[in-house]
Amino acid sequence: MIQTDDQMLLAEQCIANLRRVLLEARKVHPPQDYARMAEPILLEIQQREQEIFEYLIANPEQPVAS
C-alpha cells in the first residue's frame, strides 16, 4: 500500500522498469514464450497502477511531506 508521495514515485519508476523489461523481451522471445513470461509482469504492473490510483484518489487527512 502506498502511503507517501515518495512511495508513489518509486512505484512509478518500478512500472517504467517493468515496461522496459517487457519491451526488450518482445525483441528476443517468440510470441508464445513472451506471452507466458509477460503475464505475471503485466499483473504486477496492473497491481502497482491500482495502488497508485488508490493513493491519488484518497483524501489525505493532512498534507504529506515528500
Q: What is the pLDDT of residues 8-50, one digit of tens each?
A: 999 999 999 999 999 999 999 999 999 999 999 999 999 999 9
Could you identify the residue written with the cell 517504467? Answer: 16
Q: Structure pTM?
A: 0.83
Helix residue spans in the chain (DSSP H): 5-28, 31-57
Domain count, the chain: 1
| Residue 65 covered by a domain | no
pLDDT at 51 over 70: yes
CA distance 2 to 18: 18
Cell numbers at residue 2, please?
502506498
Q: Does 49 reside within a domain?
A: yes
- Contact present, 4 and 53 (Cβ < 8 Å): no
Q: Which domain holds residue 24?
A: 5-57
Specify the pLDDT at position 61: 67
pLDDT of residue 64: 54
pLDDT score at 65: 52
Which phi and psi (to 5°) does residue 49 adopt? -65, -40
| Residue 63 within a domain | no
